[in-house]
Structure 1
Amino acid sequence: MNLESIKTAVFLAISNYGGKILLALIAFIIGRFIIGRLSKFISARMTQSKIDRDVQPFLLSLVTVMLNVMLLLSCAGILGIETTSFVAVLGAAGLAVGLALQGSLANFAGGVLILIFKPFRVGDLINAQGFTGHVEAIQIFNTLLVTPDNKTIILPNGALSTGSVTNISGKGLIRVDMVFGVGSQNSLDKTKSAIQTVVDTCPTALKDKAHDILVTKLEPNAVYYDVRVWTHPDNYWDTYYYVNEHIKRQFDLTGIEAPERWLHVVQKG
């Protein structure tokens, strides 16, 4: 094939299909713009309608995917591709992909189950799959957690729907459990009073909830206290670190001593 034949073939292709390709490209760009604006509108309307915020990201993702598929079919029609055949091919390809991506289908089903039975909601503090964080979004296939150190953890919905999940904030309140040991020579009443002072002055401890200071273990050189402080889930770490730091300060201030280390030596012979 010589150069002239190639030029002629290219010219004929442009003449026959150039307009359709340009029109399809314009339709695709306009369609993507409309879908973006429509997604924002739907999101705003769902927020105004007070639709469960757990469901909002899921529905928005589903609608966006459907609109994009419709846009692709429309562009294929503009190009002259037979859409019925295209849909049949797409369906067969979807079946093959579905069989290959059974895990993704399990994640989709898991997302539906999570939204129906609501073991947790957006904003809840949960522990799952070895991670602890606040639920930022429940998407079609994954759930997003934000950890206390501001990392985003992506967890598959399939594992979440079938595995164990601890909803830390499910009851609205949480108890911070800590253990402190002091030397056995310290007065019991004096030690409990020092701990009570810290608990009473903790800004994140609930004032209308009874907190526990209990002797949990006795040893020859040490006494251990269980300290249980009630707070809101969002204040868990603030409460934990406040009590630990101020217990040390209060013990130093009141002269409460730490357990003495004993070394037991056995002499043979």
Structure 2
Amino acid sequence: MAGESLMNDAIPLSDSLSQVNGWLENNSDILLQYGVNIIAALLILFFGNIFVKVIAGSVAKVLRKKDMDPAVIEFIHGLVRYLLFVIVLIAALGRIGVQTASVVAVIGAAGLAVGLALQGSLSNFAAGILIVAFRPFKSGDYVEVAGVAGSVESIQIFQTILKTPDNKMVVVPNSSVIGGAITNYSRHATRRIDLMIGVSYSADLQKTKQVLRETVERDDRILKDPDVTIGVHTLADSSVNFVVRPWVKTADYWPVYFDLMMNIKQALDANDIEIPFPQMSVHLNKVDKAD
């Protein structure tokens, strides 16, 4: 009985295998065609991705030879890579039978939908193009944008990367960069240092001015042209305030600033010129009590 049961189970299995084999034989041409198309599509994606990297890299290399700003090069490199990859993807889909016209239409519709949903991202993209076109700053410049100050590391498609003086990375959306004031501290070769120095009302102003000038002129990093400006700026509550405005190379701004503040303090002390601190005079009047 057991042998007969096994024989009965084997017959349907044999029939199923025969049906599968028959279906494979009848549809072998279609399967072969689809298999070839799928393999071809995968090859298109694989070699197309390599091709995209090579082309984008070549574009970046050509721009570097022309001494273009590294931040602009990175922006164009990313843009070229994304556009070429979309073309490769459409070609791969077309190889497996998807109508490319339909794909373009779907991408267009999807792009419209995504664009409406991600208006901020599109504005960042457009702002990135404006930054690259008008170049208010370049890679390495020290700038202040959207309330953040730092050195420009790169300009990407949607954001600008800054590095702060304390070595923090700050990502600023391109729309925020374009939408506000941009202060570029590195654009010009020279900068002016503005110092406010307060001295006592009892100080000799001519002597104070001479001490300040001699202190400034001892620093070789301070430029001779334009000449330093020194003068009385304000008669304040507790001090007579002098302005000291020398010009230096942009790279020397902060080192000269710190050294000059220390040297001025030491020079005033050496010449017995008092630097006053805020103070208040209180006058007490005695009032006699009535009898």
Give the TM-score category using the shorter length.
Answer: 0.7 to 0.9
Q: Within 5 Å, which residues of 2 pair with 1:23-102?
A: 24-25=41-42, 27-51=44-68, 55-102=72-119
**Unaligned segments of structure 1, at least 5 residues:** none
Percent identical among aligned pairs is: 38
In structure 1, C-alpha distance between the alignment counterparts of 2:81 and 2:179, rounded to whole Å:
27
Counterpart pick for 1:226 among 230, 233, 243: 243
Judged with a 3 Å threshold, the aligned counterparts in structure 2 of structure 1 residues 48 and 262 are, in CA distance, closer, same or farther, namely closer
- The equivalent residue for 2:124 is 107
Asked whether the 8 Å contact 1:134–1:145 carries over to 2, the reply is: yes
Name which one, 1 or 2, has greater alpha-carbon Rg: 2
Distance 1:160 1:252 in 2: 46
Deviation of 1:179 after TM superposition, in Å, equals 0.9
Deviations for 1:128-176, whole angstroms, at most 9, x for unmatched residues?
2112233333333223333333333322222333322233344432212
Distance 1:139 1:251, change over 3 A: same
CA-based RMSD of the aligned residues comes to: 3.1
Q: 1:125 aligns with which of 138, 142, 148?
A: 142
Summarize deviations over 1:174-225 as a string: whole Å, max 9, x none. 2121212122333323322332233223354223321112211224642211
Aligned to 2:182: 165
The number of residues matched between the two structures is 259
Moved more, 81-90 or 221-230: 81-90
TM-score, normalised by the number of residues in structure 2: 0.74
CA distance in 2, matches of 1:79, 1:111: 36
Question: Could you tell me how far apart the structure 1 residues matched to 2:278 and 2:77 are?
Answer: 62
The answer on whether the counterparts of 2:69 and 2:139 sit within 8 Å (CA) in structure 1 is no
Query: Hey, what does 1:267 align to over in structure 2?
Result: 284
Q: Distance in 1 between matches of 2:238 and 2:71?
A: 53
Unaligned runs of 5+ in 2: 1-12, 25-30
Q: Letter of the aligned partner of 2:59 in structure 1? A: I
Where does 1:104-253 land on structure 2 (aligned, <5 Å)? 104-219=121-236, 221-253=238-270
How far apart are 1:66 and its partner, in Å? 0.7
8 A Cα contact 2:69 2:138, kept in partner: no
1:100 shift after superposition: 1.1
Contact preservation (8 Å) 1:177, 1:229? yes
Q: Given residue 100 of structure 1, which amino acid in structure 2 is its aligned partner?
A: A
C-alpha distance in 2, partners of 1:260/1:177? 20
